[in-house]
């Protein structure tokens, strides 16, 4: 009898012990950071995003609702099939609860759709396509940071107001380049600007001098670079060589972040206009974050890194508020709760999963203006989230009308 009682008591103790985390599946919250860590976008997001996610977990205390939080990471090599395989394996055998970052649009769309099938949460911070919260939106997929529309509004719209009326585009010859060119051109025109010409160059072109000469001859005020990564870097570097900025034309990089400016150096990048949703040297809070990030990675964060920090924080807050890590409940809380942190100020999440946060039009400082490492930007304009991103109603997301 005595033995029976002890056994019952023992079981009761075990049950009581686990009840604290009973609502957390597998007794652990696991977040996967999936992005490019070896290819052209390795500095754009890469290991920096993994570090930002770990910082968010540490700042949250390392636990949520009594369960430990872990961050795992993998390199998807910019291939949608590799990314899908990793995501499936994470969900099936490694108890991963949510996947974030997802640089490269093709990867983000594939993993978001897969996660929808498996009823998991994704937060994209590294990819640009508006489709994620448009025609291909899903109930538990979120899009933080930026998208092609915000870049177009920031650089296309706001730059016209700064006097850049006539535009000439240097466009990468694939879907991403076309959509950037089209959207930016549209905003430039809506503000009274004009597109005077464009030239399409193959992806991964080494030499832009030929295209730059054509752009120079066009008499445009602004040369819009509708490309990414190394293509943009080489174009900017060679524009400096051909004296394009010095002769009065303005260069606008449509997708370019602090990491790429750092790689290029101010000598070549000065005077460049670009749009980001984060700059480390904006408030005391962003500066403190920037310095901590710098200590861990040797580099200041760009918008992708800061957005990943913000996304992880919002996810953990939502779990705490819901008291469970069950997808529907957490997702509902993530939609419901405003986002107010070092990345986004009083921002809200739409039914389509879009985070409506401010974006900034930046101008890269000259080497003389810059007071130290990573002192790179002058903020020219702040574009409110509602203007920067497509409204819920116009997004084309089927979840909004319901």
Partner 1 sequence: MSFAIFGIPIQAFLGQLLIGLINGSFYALLSLGLAVIFGLLRVINFAHGALYMLGAFAALLLSVYLGLGYWPALLLAPLVVGLTGALVERSMLSRLYGLDPLYGLLFTFGLALVIEGTFRYFFGASGQPYPQPSLLSGGVNLGFMYLPIYRGWVIVASFIVCMAVWLLIEKTKLGSYLRAATEDPILVQSFGVNVPLLLTLTYALGAGLAGFAGVLAAPIYQVSPLMGSNLIIIVFAVVVVGGMGSILGAIVTGYLLGIAEGLTKVFYPEASNIVIFVIMAIVLVLRPAGLFGKDV
| Residues contacting partner 1: total by CB under 8 A | 41
Contact string 38-57 vs partner 1 (x = CB under 8 A) = xxxxxxx-x-----------
Query: 75 pairs with which residues across the strands?
Result: 35
Smallest gap from Cβ 162 to partner 1, in A, equals 26
What kind and span of H or E run contains 349?
Answer: strand 348-349
In the complex with partner 1, the residue whose CB is nearer, 60 or 242, is 242
Smallest gap from Cβ 84 to partner 1, in A, equals 23
Residue 2 burial (CB count, 10 A): 6
Q: Select the residue interacting with partner 1 from 27, 207, 386, 394 (CB under 8 A).
A: 207
Transcribe 52-103 into DSSP letters.
Answer: HHHHHHHHHTSEETTEEEEEEEEE-TT-HHHHHHHHHHHHHHS---EEEE--
Instruction: Enter the tokens of residue 191.
Output: 């503000």
Q: Select the residue interacting with partner 1 from 93, 206, 401, 402 (CB under 8 A).
A: 206
Residue 64's φ and ψ, nearest 5 degrees, are: -140, 130
Q: CA 393, CA 379: separation in Å to the nearest integer?
A: 30
In the complex with partner 1, the residue whose CB is nearer, 13 or 210, is 210
Which stretch, 96-104, 210-218, 321-329, 361-369, contacts partner 1 (CB under 8 A)?
210-218
Query: 347 pairs with which residues across the strands?
Result: 339
Count of residues for the chain?
402
Separation in Å, CA 204 to CA 32, 46, 260 = 30, 20, 16
Does residue number 308 form part of the binding site for partner 1 (CB under 8 A)?
A: no
Contacts of 348 (CB under 8 A, 6+ apart): 338, 339, 355, 356, 385
CB 374 within 8 A of CB 262: yes
Site residues for partner 1, 356-385, by CB under 8 A, read none
Q: Select the residue interacting with partner 1 from 63, 85, 119, 205 (CB under 8 A).
A: 205
In the complex with partner 1, the residue whose CB is nearer, 268 or 334, is 268
Does residue number 230 form part of the binding site for partner 1 (CB under 8 A)?
A: yes
Q: CA 182, CA 152: separation in Å to the nearest integer?
A: 9
Q: What is the DSSP letter of 339?
A: B
In the complex with partner 1, the residue whose CB is nearer, 74 or 121, is 74
Smallest gap from Cβ 222 to partner 1, in A, equals 19
Q: Select the residue interacting with partner 1 from 214, 218, 345, 370 (CB under 8 A).
A: 214
In the complex with partner 1, the residue whose CB is nearer, 46 or 193, is 46
Q: Select the residue interacting with partner 1 from 112, 259, 308, 352 (CB under 8 A).
A: 259
Pairing of strands 348-349, 355-356: antiparallel
Instruction: Enter the tokens of residue 32.
Output: 């996967």
Q: CA 286, CA 4: separation in Å to the nearest integer?
A: 59
Smallest gap from Cβ 352 to partner 1, in A, equals 32
In the complex with partner 1, the residue whose CB is nearer, 95 or 234, is 234
Residue with tokens 């056994």: 7
Smallest gap from Cβ 173 to partner 1, in A, equals 5
Burial of 63 (0-12, 13-18, 19+ CB in 10 A): middle
Q: Select the residue interacting with partner 1 from 219, 243, 367, 384 (CB under 8 A).
A: 243
Residue 270's φ and ψ, nearest 5 degrees, are: -55, 140
Site residues for partner 1, 262-301, by CB under 8 A, read 262-265, 267-268
In the complex with partner 1, the residue whose CB is nearer, 170 or 355, is 170
Smallest gap from Cβ 178 to partner 1, in A, equals 12
Return the SS3 of 33: strand
Contact string 162-201 vs partner 1 (x = CB under 8 A) = -----------x-------------------------xxx
Does residue number 323 form part of the binding site for partner 1 (CB under 8 A)?
A: no
Q: CA 171, CA 399: separation in Å to the nearest integer?
A: 33
Site residues for partner 1, 8-27, by CB under 8 A, read none
Interacting residues toward partner 1 by CB under 8 A: 38-44, 46, 173, 199-202, 204-207, 209-211, 213-214, 216-217, 229-230, 233-234, 237-238, 241-243, 259-260, 262-265, 267-268
């Amino acid at each position: 009898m005595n033995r029976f009682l002890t056994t019952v008591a023992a079981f009761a103790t075990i049950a009581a012990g686990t009840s604290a985390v009973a609502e957390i599946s597998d007794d652990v919250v696991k977040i996967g950071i999936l992005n490019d860590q070896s290819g052209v976008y390795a500095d754009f997001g890469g290991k920096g995003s993994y570090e930002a996610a770990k910082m968010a977990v540490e700042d949250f205390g390392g636990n949520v609702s009594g369960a430990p939080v872990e961050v795992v990471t993998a390199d998807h090599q910019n291939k949608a099939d590799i990314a899908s395989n990793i995501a499936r394996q994470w969900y099936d055998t490694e108890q991963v609860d949510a996947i974030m970052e997802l640089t490269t649009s093709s990867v983000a769309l594939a993993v978001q759709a897969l996660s929808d099938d498996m009823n998991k949460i994704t937060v994209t911070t590294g990819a640009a396509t508006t489709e994620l919260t448009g025609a291909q939106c899903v109930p538990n997929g979120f899009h933080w940071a930026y998208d092609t529309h915000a870049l177009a509004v920031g650089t296309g719209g706001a730059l016209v107001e700064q006097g850049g009326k006539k535009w000439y585009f240097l466009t990468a010859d694939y879907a991403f380049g076309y959509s950037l060119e089209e959207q930016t051109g549209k905003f430039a025109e809506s503000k009274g600007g004009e597109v005077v010409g464009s030239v399409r160059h193959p992806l991964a072109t080494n030499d832009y001098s030929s295209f730059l000469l054509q752009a120079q001859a066009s008499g445009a005020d602004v040369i819009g670079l509708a490309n990414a990564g190394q293509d943009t870097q080489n174009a900017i570097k060679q524009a400096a060589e051909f004296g394009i900025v010095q002769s009065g034309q303005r260069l606008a990089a449509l997708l370019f972040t602090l990491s790429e400016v750092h790689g290029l150096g101010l000598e070549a990048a000065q005077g460049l206009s670009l749009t980001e949703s984060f700059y480390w040297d904006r408030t005391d809070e962003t500066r403190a974050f920037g310095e901590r990030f710098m200590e861990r990675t040797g580099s200041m964060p760009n918008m992708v890194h800061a957005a990943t920090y913000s996304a992880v924080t919002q996810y953990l807050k939502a779990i705490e508020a819901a008291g469970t890590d069950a997808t529907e409940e957490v997702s509902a809380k993530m939609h419901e709760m405003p986002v107010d942190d070092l990345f986004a100020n009083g921002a809200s999440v739409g039914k389509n999963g879009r985070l409506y946060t401010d974006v900034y039009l930046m101008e890269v400082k000259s080497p003389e203006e810059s007071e130290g490492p990573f002192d790179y930007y002058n903020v020219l304009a702040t574009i409110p989230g509602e203007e920067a991103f497509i409204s819920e109603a116009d997004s084309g997301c089927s979840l909004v009308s319901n």
